[in-house]
Structure 1
Amino acid sequence: MKIAETVTFAGANLDRAADWRADSAAHIADSDVIALWRGKPLVAGDALVRLRHDHPALSDARDMRLLLARSGGRAIFAADLSDWTPAGPDVAHLDSFSDQTEQAHPAVPQATFVELRSAMTRLSREDAELAATARSLFHWHAIHGFCANCGAASVATQAGWQRDCAACGRHHFPRTDPVVIMLITHQNSVLVGRSPGWPEGMYSLLAGFVEPGETLEAAVRREVFEEAGVTVGAVSYLASQPWAFPASLMCGMRGEATSTAITIDPAEIEDARWVTREEMADVFAGQHHDIKPARPGAIAHFLLENWLSDTLD
């Protein structure tokens, strides 16, 4: 797919400065720092806020600094302010589709912490990739504080790209979970479904995690049959998207259905249906009577939009 890397969170070609990770402290004084609070990046307008390493707001940050990239010879770090408590925080919707709350730190009054899914389409490619990388890495550290081999506490090393266990000597690295997301078509129609808890009326492409020992193609056929009872023949790869919710690699695939009868697995999805190209055009125009499109910025939206415009190949 010629335009594969125009999907959100891709195409920035960040210089990730792996050669600086071992001695990242030497580069902190000449750096920019982006800040996150409970996975939400600090944003002003359409851009990430870049702070000096000694900015007063960073006094509320945890000790670890993630080295994300190098730009113009300067390091770009990320800091986690999740231990800071904003005044009267509304925590009910944090880390959800519906989180529209914004939190302002008193030391940076012109900016707010914003849910990344809400901000992702207005950020530049570089800013979106930086925010997604930081969000995934901070989440990994939050849930991997102990060695999976011996159970002892581990420590962050390599500027946040590794955790080491002093007790048994094991090294642990950030994980990315591969997920197939499938544009399944039959003649003039595409298969879409919805999961419980999604915004009312929102339908998207079917998706599922790749299992150990499984190819992407096999995962497509298995997931579509398990979720919707539809069999799939030819499968091909289209594009990928790092998805920092919390840490997946969405592998966009195309498949040709060899059956059309739908039998959903209610444990996986609550509905699935075939939608014609003409209907999907109405969905994207906001004129369909009961279907709303996948979230802009998500790879499902990207694939469906390009299917409608015949720009998949």
Structure 2
Amino acid sequence: MSPFDLFPLGQPAFVSNPIDRAAHLRFHDDKLMALESHPATRAYVLYRDSLLVKREGDRVRALLTIDEALKAGANPGTIFLGLRDGAAVFGMGMSPAAAEALAGRDDTTLTELRGMAMQGAVPPEQLGTIAMAKSMVSWHQRHGFCASCGTKTAMREGGWKRECPACKTEHFPRTDPVVISLVASGDKCLLGRQKQFPPGMYSCLAGFVEAAETIEDAVRREIFEESGIRCAEVTYYMTQPWPYPSSLMIGCNARALNEDIVVDHTELEDARWFSRDEARQMLLRQHPNGLAGPHPFAIAHHLVGRWLHGTETAG
């Protein structure tokens, strides 16, 4: 199955999530404990940017029983993600020592999540729930102490809150908004590349939304800061959860007011205008100079693809 089949236009990774979050159950420790011991309960186990999987012949299975997860070294603390088809699904992390102990094992292994998703090793419909687990596990690992008094905090409400036993401050997981934009000027679109991109790859420009800033203003600011291009109309397309570690990509289109590019080399290695024909060749990996666009896994691919299909409102 090709990446275009895995992630058709308008359906990047992590946006499909069939889980019922069942938030009312987070407040009942007794019910959550009962769910953990139920034979139908499953868990996703994350370590940094990798997913714990069981190898079964030529395939891998990411949805593990609680017993399988614990035997592989997952931490006993579970995060209640919700219900799928009536069965509970939890997220679990693991320690560096437990991750190292998996080295050399053939049956159970840690595999980099992004690569697995791009190759279709994990069904796309599971990726949204895995993104939940990854974001939440990462948050707990990075926020174990109270930001107000420094005391070690405790997990509460099925993992959706941490509470300080000393000053009683409540801490909640955060999501960082990021704008990512397809900027167009007539029949050309603006794409840039960062140094860490694969050779020849260009993508849409992106950046974090700042405090007290609208999405539209964030788009205009980021595009101007990185490329010197000023934008007029900004229109919203769609969002994509991005669990690296816990962002929400806000896809937008914008119309350029000028075409003279001034690259901020602290942010980008290069930025260029591309014609529709070039952009189409790049998405299909058929550009004569070996240039490539973003993978269908990412919302940037869908922003470019939508522009090529002429269904965006700006440009």
Give the TM-score, by structure 2 length.
0.86
Determine helix, strand or coil for the equivalent of 1:201. Answer: coil
Q: What is the alpha-carbon distance in structure 1 between the residues aligned to residue 311 and residue 16 of structure 2? A: 18
Determine helix, strand or coil for the equivalent of 2:128. Answer: helix
Q: 1:173 to 1:268 in 2, by over 3 A?
A: same
Q: 2:35 aligns with which of 12, 24, 27?
A: 27
Instruction: Provide structure 2 residue ranges, at least 5 long, that are not aligned to the other structure.
Output: 1-7
Partner of 2:277: 278
Determine helix, strand or coil for the equivalent of 2:263. Answer: coil
Determine helix, strand or coil for the equivalent of 2:65. Answer: coil
Q: 2:22 aligns with which of 8, 17, 22?
A: 17
Deviation string for 1:73-97 (max 9, x for gaps)? 21011222333144696xxxxxxxx
Give the superposed CA RMSD.
2.2
Partner of 2:262: 263
Q: State whether structure 2 residue 223 is matched by structure 1 residue 224.
A: yes
The farther-off stretch of 54-63 and 277-286 is 54-63
Q: 1:263 to 1:59 in 2, by over 3 A?
A: closer
Letter in 2 for 1:292: A
Shift of 1:56: 6.7
| Number of aligned positions between the proteins | 294
Q: What is the alpha-carbon distance in structure 2 between the residues aligned to residue 156 and residue 56 of structure 1? A: 19
Contact kept in structure 2, 1:37 and 1:80, CA below 8 Å: yes
Q: State whether structure 2 residue 51 is matched by structure 1 residue 41.
A: yes
Determine helix, strand or coil for the equivalent of 1:54. Answer: helix
Determine helix, strand or coil for the equivalent of 1:148. Answer: coil
Partner of 1:186: 185
Letter in 1 for 2:276: R
Shift of 1:187: 0.3
The farther-off stretch of 76-85 and 208-217 is 76-85
Contact kept in structure 1, 2:47 and 2:99, CA below 8 Å: no
The farther-off stretch of 25-34 and 272-281 is 25-34
Q: 1:114 to 1:312 in 2, by over 3 A?
A: farther
Q: What is the alpha-carbon distance in structure 2 between the residues aligned to residue 246 and residue 189 of structure 1? A: 32
Q: What is the alpha-carbon distance in structure 2 between the residues aligned to residue 129 and residue 151 of structure 1? A: 33
Partner of 1:306: 306
Contact kept in structure 1, 2:117 and 2:297, CA below 8 Å: yes
Q: 1:5 to 1:187 in 2, by over 3 A?
A: closer
Contact kept in structure 2, 1:8 and 1:128, CA below 8 Å: yes
Q: What is the alpha-carbon distance in structure 1 between the residues aligned to residue 222 and residue 34 of structure 2? A: 47
Q: What is the alpha-carbon distance in structure 1 between the residues aligned to residue 72 and residue 229 of structure 2? A: 54
The farther-off stretch of 191-200 and 204-213 is 191-200
The farther-off stretch of 23-32 and 54-63 is 54-63
Matched residues, percent identical?
38
Give the TM-score, by structure 1 length.
0.87
Question: Runs in 1 of length 4+ with deviation above 4 angstroms?
Answer: 44-48
Q: What is the alpha-carbon distance in structure 1 between the residues aligned to residue 213 and residue 192 of structure 2? A: 23
Contact kept in structure 2, 1:60 and 1:81, CA below 8 Å: yes
Shift of 1:50: 2.2
Q: 1:88 to 1:160 in 2, by over 3 A?
A: closer
Shift of 1:233: 0.3
Q: 1:194 to 1:237 in 2, by over 3 A?
A: same
Partner of 2:89: 76
Determine helix, strand or coil for the equivalent of 1:304. Answer: helix
Shift of 1:273: 0.4
Which structure dedicates a bigger proportion of its chain to helix?
A: 2
Determine helix, strand or coil for the equivalent of 1:70. Answer: strand
Instruction: Provide structure 1 residue ranges, at least 5 long, that are not aligned to the other structure.
Output: 90-103
Contact kept in structure 2, 1:47 and 1:124, CA below 8 Å: no
